[in-house]
Amino acid sequence: MTDTARTQAPRLRVGIVGCGNISRNHIEAYAAIEGTEVVGVCDVDTARVRQTAATWQIPHAVDSAAALLDLGLDIISVCTPHPTHEAVVLQAAAAGVHVLCEKPISVDLTAARNMVEACENHGVALGVLFQRRFWPAAAALRAAIDDGTLGRPVMGQVSVLLQRDPEYYRADAWRGTWANDGGGVLMTQAIHYIDLLQWYLGEVAEVYGAVNTFKHGDYIEVEDSASAVLKFTSGALATLNASTAASPSLGVQIRITGSTGATAELSEFPEGTDGRLTIAADGASAAEAPARITAGANVDLAAINEALIPHHRAQIEDFVDAVRGGGIPAVTGRDGTNALRILLAVYESARTGQPVRFAPFPAGVAVPPARSGTAAETNEPSPPAEVRPEIRANK
């Protein structure tokens, strides 16, 4: 949709729940999109919500989602701690308000299912923030798959080697806890690249994984490192290695090899910078091969968030256009649920020492079926709570 079309369309009223660091990306994005206006912000921290409203000249600062919804919203952005997403989304859906939720969609599959079903039942859109899909290079890699440049994708490799220091985890009481963060590097950082991996390779059939805490065990409960092997319904294979124990950070590299033998590499280095795509194929020169990173670079969280603002805007713009046109956003609640169940399967596999196998999603069903037995019986991983004692023991 063009800016002119957005200007001519009815103005959309937007509310933001949660005034933490990432809320700035949402506020700036809506401010830059023609035909949208952030009319209210919400946070349980009175001082913080008032400061946010004052900084961005937002007319209403409230302390509950219910009060925010009373402002007559069209869209709500959910930027609260992970386990609180479900309650806000259910309230918004019941009020007929479209929802854009920060990742992860939730920390357990039951809540994710409830959120998607509620939005579907009330006829509102549900999007989940995976802004790295909106890198031009990420889209170009997907295009190289779609147009046959790589052939059929047969293998993937994801390396997420990031630096986080004690101050990062101590900045908010909920960070690094099972109850409020829901997990460590998998839930908070690697989920972005799990989403890209499934976007490129399709539906996952089986996951085998292990987790541990090597560096941050004195001040976090969750894992700081994880490895997994993924099998896809197409027959493709992939490996995932993720850690926040690297120092310095080596960023992220995603490689997709196709049946033609060509390999595409998407590199995010330093962390937060736009992904860069290189495709190595027969006949390519050495200069066209993926460059190797020979030195690391640590980047603070504020700089990472700053660098991601344009891609937040691109995804939010896509969501606004979907709302206006009655379409489907590029990243849906189903996508968020798929990414969540993959990482939860890594936790489950780490707990049991066995692979976790998924039943395929039935056609037209946006979320996994409800559990009615063990994880093995339903092909769904259990919540990560049971893995906690083992992770703590391995610090």
Mean pLDDT value of segment 103-116: 96
Average pLDDT over residues 372-382: 37
* DSSP designation for 56: H
Q: What is the arithmetic mean of pLDDT over 290-295?
A: 49
Share of the chain above pLDDT 70, in %: 85
Helices (H), the chain: 3-8, 23-32, 46-56, 65-69, 85-94, 109-121, 136-146, 166-170, 185, 191-201, 301-325, 333-352, 375-378, 388-393
* 82-96, 163-177, 275-289: least confident range: 275-289
Task: Specify burial of residue 346 (Cβ count, 10 A radius: 0-12, 13-18, 19+).
Answer: buried
Q: Report phi then psi at 276, rounded to 5.
A: -120, 135
Domain annotation covers residue 19: yes
- Contact between 272 and 298 under an 8 Å Cβ cutoff? The reply is no
Of 269, 8, 313, the C-alpha closest to 131 is 313
Whether 106 and 65 map to the same domain: the answer is yes
Residue 375: C-alpha distances to residues 52, 208, 227, 252, 338 (Å): 43, 14, 20, 31, 16
Q: Both 360 and 230 in a single domain? A: yes
Query: What CATH number is attached to the domain comprising 107?
Result: 3.40.50.720
Using the predicted structure, report yes or no on whether residue 307 has a pLDDT greater than 90. no
| Domain match, 143 and 181 both | yes
Query: Same domain for 17 and 161?
Result: no
Shared domain check, 197 and 228? yes
**pLDDT tens digits, residue range 17-55?**
999 999 999 999 999 999 999 999 999 999 999 999 999
Express each pLDDT in 156-188 by its tens digit.
999 999 999 999 999 888 899 999 999 999 999
Split at pLDDT 50, 70, 90, the class of 90 is very high
| Position 56 confidence tier, pLDDT thresholds 50, 70, 90 | very high
- pLDDT reading at 214 higher than 70: yes
User: For all residues of the chain together, what is the average pLDDT?
Assistant: 88
Confidence of residue 364 (pLDDT cuts 50, 70, 90): very low
Q: Has residue 341 been placed in a domain?
A: yes
Q: Say whether both 274 and 326 belong to one domain.
A: no
Angle (CA) 310-255-243 rounded to 5° is: 75
Domain range for 218 is 133-298+336-367+374-393
Distances (CA, A) of 3 to 8, 77, 259, 288: 9, 21, 41, 37
**Do both 139 and 128 map to the same domain?**
no
Interacting residues of 4 by C-beta distance below 8 A, sequence separation 6+: none
Instruction: Please report the pLDDT score of residue 354 as a whole number.
Output: 98
Q: Are residues 126 and 209 in the same domain?
A: no
- In this structure, the answer to whether residues 144 and 40 fall within a common structural domain is no
Q: Is residue 313 part of a domain?
A: yes
Q: Is the pLDDT of residue 212 over 60?
A: yes
Listed range (44-53, 156-165, 288-297, 311-320) with the worst mean pLDDT: 288-297
Do 187 and 70 lie in a common domain? no
Put simply, whether the predicted model's pTM sits higher than 0.95 gets the answer: no
pLDDT at site 88? 98
| CA distance linking residue 2 with residue 177, whole number of Å | 43
Q: Would you say residue 77 has pLDDT above 80?
A: yes
Domain CATH number, residue 254: 3.30.360.10
Q: What is the per-residue pLDDT across 233-271, written as a single tens digit (0 to 9) for each?
A: 999 999 999 999 999 999 999 999 999 999 999 999 988
DSSP classification of residue 332: B
**What's residue 302's pLDDT?**
82
* Overall domain count for the chain: 2
Domain assignment present for residue 303? The answer is no
Q: Is the pLDDT at 372 greater than 80, yes or no?
A: no
| Same-domain pairing of 51 and 166 | no
- pLDDT tens column, 115-142: 999 999 999 999 999 999 999 999 999 9
Instruction: Give CA–CA dist 26/39, Å, rounded.
Output: 13
Q: Are residues 10 and 107 in the same domain?
A: yes
Asked whether 319 and 329 are in contact (CB, 8 A), the reply is yes
